[in-house]
Structures are given as structure tokens and as C-alpha cells.
């Protein structure tokens, strides 16, 4: 991103990129925040517009859409069972889990509410943001971290729409902050978490929604960080 006021074509392209990034992060955040319901399944299939040349991303997205396209009440109930078992450990003690908290993957003892929790809360405060109080999980829950990335992307889009040097500088700084957060608070644990999620969700369907979600999430965040780095 240039330090000078950019031409309209470049600006329009960057705004589109930021808005697309915000949308994907919002959908991913919702996917990890709570169980899939009929409304979300319908919106995902009908409204989640995302295209990529990456065959892994495309295949994962196709699998997610396929899993939700004909999700009747029984299928949604099974998805809820998987959600509770995998993310909250509800079910057999011998079942695999994938707890969606950064602290679990980055602390020495592998438990919640450790240094990562404090660090991400500080990052949110620095952006004058706070976790939605209606969501009672801690600040280093994956849904919250993804929502933070969505908010930064949306902010960058708004800054770019100002069409002046100050807005462009603010957008560049927001992109820089997004990259730092991705590198510091997502890429240092997401691969391991998504790997465990894919394994934990498999007993409920080899090509199920959460297996594909794991594949999509890891690949998208990795590619997004590379994109941001290239922009800077």
C-alpha cells in the first residue's frame, strides 16, 4: 500500500479485498461461536460468496456447502452434538476434543486463561474494542480472535473510502496491525488446533462440515497473512 494517495482503480480493488476479508472472518467467527442453526446454514449456502484459485480452499468450501445444503432438523442436531463434544468436551471421556482457546495451545500447562488471554485482551483495548459481553467465552477464544480480524478489515475499508492521504495511512496501519495480530495470535496455534478439530470431528462424518471448516480456516488465515505481508 503506497504512502501517497492511490488511484481510483487501486483503491476500489483494495476496498473489495478488505470487505471480502471482513466477510470471510465474520462467517468463520460465527462458525466457531455457536452451533449451526437453520438460518446460518441457509445463509452460508446462499450468501457466502467467496472465490479462490487455491484448490484446498475451494474444496473445503464446497464440502461445507454440501454439508449444509440439505441439512434437515436431524442433521442440524448432529452438528450441534459435534460442536458440543469437540469444542466443550461434552460426551464420552475417550472422545477427541479441540478446545478453541489460544492459551490451551500456547501455555506451558495447556490450560485456559494464560498469557495469551491477557495479550489478546490488551490488543483489543488498544483498538478501543471489547469482546461482546453476550459471548461468555474468554477473549482468546477463536471466535473472538476471528471477529477482531473482521473488524480490522472493515475499518481498513472505511479508511480507504475517505480517499485522502490520512485515510490511506490509517488503512496501512490497520493492515499492519492485522498482520501482527495474525502472526502473534493466530498462526502460532491455528494449525495445531485445526488439525485436532479435523480428527475430532471425523467420527461424525468423513466429509462433514467441521472437518472442512478446519481445513478452510487454517488455509485461509495462512493465505490472508501472506496477502497482508505482500501489501505492506
Quick: pLDDT tens for 91-109.
Answer: 666 678 899 999 999 986 6
HEC secondary structure over the chain: CCCCCCCHHHHHHHHHHHHHHHHHHHHHHHHHHCCCCHHHHHHHHHHCCCCCCCHHHHHHHHHHHHHHHCCCHHHHHHHHHHHHHHHHCCCCCCCCCCCCEHHHHHCCCCCCCCHHHHHHHHHHHHCCCCCCCCCCCCCCEHHHHHHHHHHHHHHHHHHHHCCCHHHHHHHHHHHHHHHHHHHHHCCCCHHHHHHHHHHHHHHHCCCCHHHHHHHHHHHHHHHHHHHHHHHC
Q: What is the mean pLDDT of residues 7-19?
A: 93
> What does pLDDT average to over the chain?
91
- 4 has a pLDDT exceeding 60: no
Report all structural domains of the chain as residue ranges with CATH numbers, in order of start. 8-231 (1.10.3480.10)
Q: What is the mean pLDDT of residues 133-144?
A: 96
Amino acid at each position: 500500500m503506497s504512502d501517497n494517495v492511490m488511484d481510483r482503480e487501486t483503491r476500489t480493488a483494495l476496498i473489495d479485498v478488505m470487505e471480502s476479508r471482513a466477510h470471510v472472518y465474520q462467517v468463520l467467527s460465527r462458525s466457531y461461536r455457536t452451533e449451526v442453526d437453520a438460518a446460518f446454514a441457509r445463509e452460508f449456502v446462499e450468501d457466502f460468496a467467496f472465490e479462490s484459485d487455491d484448490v484446498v480452499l475451494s474444496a473445503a468450501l464446497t464440502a461445507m456447502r454440501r454439508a449444509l445444503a440439505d441439512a434437515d432438523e436431524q442433521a442440524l442436531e448432529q452438528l450441534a452434538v459435534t460442536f458440543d463434544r469437540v469444542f466443550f468436551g461434552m460426551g464420552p471421556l475417550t472422545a477427541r476434543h479441540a478446545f478453541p482457546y489460544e492459551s490451551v495451545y500456547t501455555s506451558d500447562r495447556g490450560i485456559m486463561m494464560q498469557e495469551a488471554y491477557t495479550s489478546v485482551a490488551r490488543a483489543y483495548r488498544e483498538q478501543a474494542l471489547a469482546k461482546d459481553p453476550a459471548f461468555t467465552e474468554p477473549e482468546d477464544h477463536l471466535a473472538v480472535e476471528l471477529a477482531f480480524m473482521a473488524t480490522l478489515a472493515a475499518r481498513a475499508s472505511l479508511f480507504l473510502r475517505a480517499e485522502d492521504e490520512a485515510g490511506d495511512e490509517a488503512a496501512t496501519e490497520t493492515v499492519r496491525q492485522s498482520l501482527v495480530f495474525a502472526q502473534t495470535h493466530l498462526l502460532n496455534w491455528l494449525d495445531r488446533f485445526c488439525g485436532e478439530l479435523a480428527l475430532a470431528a471425523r467420527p461424525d462424518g468423513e466429509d462433514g462440515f467441521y472437518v472442512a471448516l478446519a481445513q478452510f480456516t487454517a488455509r485461509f488465515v495462512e493465505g490472508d497473512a501472506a496477502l497482508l505481508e505482500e501489501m505492506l
